[in-house]
Amino acid sequence: MQSSDLKNLKIAVVGAGYGGAAAAKALSLLGADVGVYEQATTIREVGAGIGLRPATLDRFGQWGIFDAIAKVSSPSDYFEILTATGEPLMKEEWPAAGERKQTRLIHRGDFIDALLGVLPQDMVHLGHRLRTVQDKGGSAVLAFENGATVEADLVVGADGIKSVVRQRLFSDKGPVFSGEHAYRAVVPVDDTHGMVTDDNLRMYIGRGTKVYLLPLRHRGQVSFDITALCADSTWNPRVTKDDLLRTVEGFDPRLVDITRGLDMSTVNIRAVYDIDPVDTWHSDSVVLVGDAAHSMLHHQGQGANSAIEDAGALADALRAADSPREALAHYQAARKPVTDTLQAVSRQGWTEDAIDDVFPGQRPAGQQPAGQAPETSASGTAGTSAAAAAGE
């Protein structure tokens, strides 16, 4: 689209999470008039740490916000997957994007604060819970529970796994329970009993449980995450310290000690859900991004990264296309095959015995069957699909 057309474009973003904030930044850089509408009255991101991949950081560089992210994150060179008792299964550098080779590890709260911090203060409107959305062809109308209505040339649905935009226009299928719980906490590095000595992510797997240690050196802390099998599908289940200790039975005694030392009032406890792939992400004037479009399980650590990539791809498509409608089609064509694959791979509830099925050829050379060499991914980098475990 011509620069003058982009400057006349009014865009309403529903949701001020990762995808919404990133979309707002990317689209505002086109010169468009962007407003963000968030249901919460205050924005507070709970949970623990995530990994921002080189491709994501490359986007931040393009948008001029890399330094803001770097101030509240730590660089990581590689990730490692080990057995429950610490024997190595695989170790790999993060897949590079151009000259960027490191992943940056960041607390979820710091990340959303940094993203929102680079937006004009009057761009984000809190206390706007979406009730309905109507696509009128050349524009779309949002109606909120507080009585406000907004009409925009383009509506971006970035309202998460329970997206109202998706339910009203694209798919009425609800979230799908994974059969797992995620228990997440942030602990001082001194409380990890010497297990964290660098800035690299490690994951320990065994008996249906995965334990992540994700250093947040800039905070002097570590994100400690347990993902464990559980049949309770309650969104916010009630779990005791003894329940957590049972999930790590047989693990490295130091991991058990970290678990035993947790203050349960600080542990974020969630049942783990995703959604089935959505056939169509856009209408004439409405489009989905992030979890609203393709919420996925955290086993590949790609939820937040995918949302950032969506935002960049949407801005690219608007810049290159002749009209918003054409741009939305190009955006979906570029992103949906990628996220369909990530959703499918993330649903593979792999175990130590099945690691070669999920990450083919990625075991250390000494542990691979004779004559087996690392496979090359479609991008030409051995085991890029194994850039896995930044627990989200």
Reported as a single tens digit per residue, the pLDDT across 171-212 is 999 999 999 999 999 999 999 999 999 999 999 998 889 999
Residues 6+ apart with CB under 8 A from 341: none
Q: Which helix (H) or strand (E) holds 35?
A: strand 33-37
**8 A C-beta contact, residue 105 and residue 199:** yes
Q: Which of 279, 283, 289, 335 is nearest to 27 (CA)?
A: 289
101-105: average pLDDT:
93
pLDDT of residue 208: 84
Measured in degrees and rounded to the nearest 5, phi and psi for residue 72 equal -120, 30
Calculate the average pLDDT of the chain.
87
pLDDT confidence of residue 218: 87
Check whether 367 has a pLDDT greater than 50: no
Specify whether the backbone of 357 is left (phi greater than 0), alpha (psi in -120 to 50) or beta.
Answer: alpha
Q: How would you class 10 by CB atoms within 10 Å of its CB: exposed for 0-12, middle for 13-18, buried for 19 or more?
A: middle
Between 378 and 178, where is the model more confident? Answer: 178
Q: Where are the beta strands (DSSP E) in 217-299?
A: 221-229, 268-274, 286-288
Tokens of 176: 């799908």
pTM for this entry: 0.87
E-assigned strand segments in 233-357? 268-274, 286-288
Amino acid (one-letter) located at 339: T
Mean pLDDT lowest among 6-20, 74-88, 213-227, 375-389: 375-389
pLDDT at 96 over 50: yes
Query: What is the mean predicted confidence (pLDDT) over 325-347?
Result: 94
Confidence band, pLDDT 50/70/90 cuts, at residue 7? confident
- pLDDT classification of 392: cutoffs 50, 70, 90: very low
Q: Let me know: does 342 contact 298? Beta carbons within 8 Å.
A: no
Residue type, 78: Y
